[in-house]
Structure 1
Amino acid sequence: MEDEHAQLVREAISSNSAGRSTLAASWCRSALHHGLDPAKGPAADRLDASRLALARGAREELIRHAGPVLDRIAGTLVRGGRCILLTDAESVILEERMAEGDRDMFDRARLVPGECWSEAAEGTNGIGTCLADEKPVIIHRDQHFLSANVQVSCHGVPIYDAGGSLVGALDVSTNRYDHDRDTAALIMSVLAGAASELERLLFGAAYRDCRIVHLDAEGGAAANGGALVAVDRDDLVIGANRSARRRGLLAGVSAKDPVPIADILGAPEDNPLAAAERRVLRQALARSRGNVAAAARDLGIGRATFYRRMGRAGLE
């Protein structure tokens, strides 16, 4: 006789409820698109050591930057019956943080490196569904598609690389029966902060030779924020993270198709060439502590030429 959970899932799917909620849509994808049966086990086997090594090698930079972030949040989130997981964009678990006494339990639950938790393999779950929908999700016990997974609750947050592409996910899974709504909200808050931190690290590494500018909600410069742009030595934006790319002007920005930072900040200069020359002259004077002759030598021009350019720039 079919278990109650599988029967509930089948009834929800047959009621054409896909458009009513994210959960129902995921259940329908699991059954109708991926062909999964809620009463059966997962559709993917654990990667062997060689294939896991290949998966980890393909995300070496992600793993390197994620290590310290995982270690830090583990102090807050890892308790008995709770683990933190890092996956790639294909939902393969690459890294974990868990209590030693929980390893056998999480191994039996398949929440260990090498396991694939895509929707195609496991149906609705915190990792696969957050990657499929590209948004944070909480999947409590009986919200999972497969009956085999209803003993755990999962919290998934997607991670994006420096170019705004999906690169992986952070997940916290737990089998604790005392897991409540307030605890879930705390976990999601910590995971969201960790994902943002990791994305900033990936962005900074990709544009280590550039100036990184944080943009506020109105497009101006900010002390910090989720929208990041990389500005080269010529004040051109050559990179933007996902948050910044969602603003029309930055959607396709790249080193081959840059955008002046002044255009982004909403303060384009009336005469960019004159403004650039003025900056160069002022910088030369600052280095020489106001000594015009030394400033002229620094720029490789004569003192008379320097004075003429000062006058033209309004620096007299």
Structure 2
Amino acid sequence: MASFSRPGGTRRHADVVLSTALSADGPACSPVAASWWRSHVQHGLDPANAAPRRAETITARELSERRQRFDLLLHVAGSRLDRLFRCVSQSACGVFLSDADGYVLDGRWRSGDQSSFESWGLRPGRNWSEAAVGTNGIGTCLAEERPLIIHQSEHFLESNIAMSCMDAPIHGPDGRLIGALDVSSARSDQTAPANQMIAALVRQAARQIEADCFRHSHSGHRIVLIDGSKGDDDSEPADTQTALVAVNADDLVVGATRAARQALGLTPTGAFAPVPTDDLLTGEAPNSGFVPAERSAVVRALARQNGNVSRAARDLGIGRATLYRRMKRLGLAQHSIES
């Protein structure tokens, strides 16, 4: 990435953005330059224009309607935003939550930093998609669907180069992109190491919001945590991913987070046909038929009752003598104790 001076220096930000974006190899060598190219060529934006028309703030009514559409996200994310803000607020940082279109839905900031964020238009109702304001934390995170840092002069618009943004995407219970979590810093002396530490907090909070949304949407199901390190997504460390599946009463997997879908080879988004839990998690089907199923049911009932046959029989809805006969046939006599 080419270096350049701040406005007033030897070379204007807008000149560097355009020359890099339109160069033969710039967009191919740098993700930021590729975003600059999209901002200028695909979206028709000018880096010197401080107020693109598409960046206008929507009305209070339109914002209310958007918030209603993302009611689950806002309900679940509130406490996570509060916790994240407590971690970063002393560093002149604000915390912002956007929808998948780039509209800011909610935010947290200190009153002393409000003027800085207001001057950038970083507030609820403002459109921060890449198509609206070019390369920026929220918009580029949504466009590329990955965690990232956009530090000061990496922004497309010259008017935004005083801030640093750390972002992570948020995926809904069905794997679809539903928003972005952003921490933006108003500090002119923000350093790269500080950005990295904050970015780790943002990624963790975004994954927690995803997990909370998933659990809320599958509140009637058993939630199982799986090993999410087997997926193909190397955009973030495996330990920051939340790979969860929802299992119904018939022991079928009926839902999965994005990380779980990647790890298990399920369709990336949307609904999928229910899959037997053992088939999906072990990669092979267990012995089929009624005998193995019956044996499993009896073993589970005995385990729940610590081997007490009388209570296990009541759980299964059969008589104790019947259960003894089935246990003998299944070779389970050693699992029991007398009532």
Scaled by the length of structure 2, the TM-score of the pair is 0.85
**SS where residue 203 of structure 1 aligns?**
helix
1:131 CA displacement = 0.4
1:46 CA displacement = 0.5
Residue 19 of structure 2: aligned partner: 11
1:287 CA displacement = 6.1
**Partner AA of 1:5 in structure 2:** H
Residue 236 of structure 2: aligned partner: none
> Which residues of structure 1 form unaligned runs of 5+?
none
Residue 160 of structure 2: aligned partner: 149
1:156 CA displacement = 1.3
Residue 297 of structure 2: aligned partner: 280
- Check whether the contact 2:207–2:240 (CA below 8 A) recurs between aligned residues: no
In 2, Cα distance between equivalents of 1:279 and 1:242: 31
Residue 86 of structure 1: aligned partner: 97
Residue 48 of structure 2: aligned partner: 39
Residues 1:29 and 2:28 are matched in the alignment: no
Identity %: 43
Residues 1:233 and 2:246 are matched in the alignment: no
**Partner AA of 1:11 in structure 2:** S
In 2, Cα distance between equivalents of 1:136 and 1:225: 12
In 2, Cα distance between equivalents of 1:256 and 1:38: 43
In 1, Cα distance between equivalents of 2:254 and 2:315: 29
**Partner AA of 1:233 in structure 2:** A
- Check whether the contact 1:89–1:166 (CA below 8 A) recurs between aligned residues: yes
Residues 1:20 and 2:36 are matched in the alignment: no
**SS where residue 55 of structure 2 aligns?**
coil
Residues 1:250 and 2:266 are matched in the alignment: yes
In 1, Cα distance between equivalents of 2:304 and 2:196: 53
**SS where residue 27 of structure 2 aligns?**
coil
Within 5 Å, give how 1:19-168 maps onto structure 2: 19-40=28-49, 41-42=51-52, 43-79=54-90, 81-168=92-179
**Partner AA of 1:35 in structure 2:** G
Cα-Cα RMSD: 2.5
**SS where residue 230 of structure 1 aligns?**
strand
In 1, Cα distance between equivalents of 2:166 and 2:306: 57
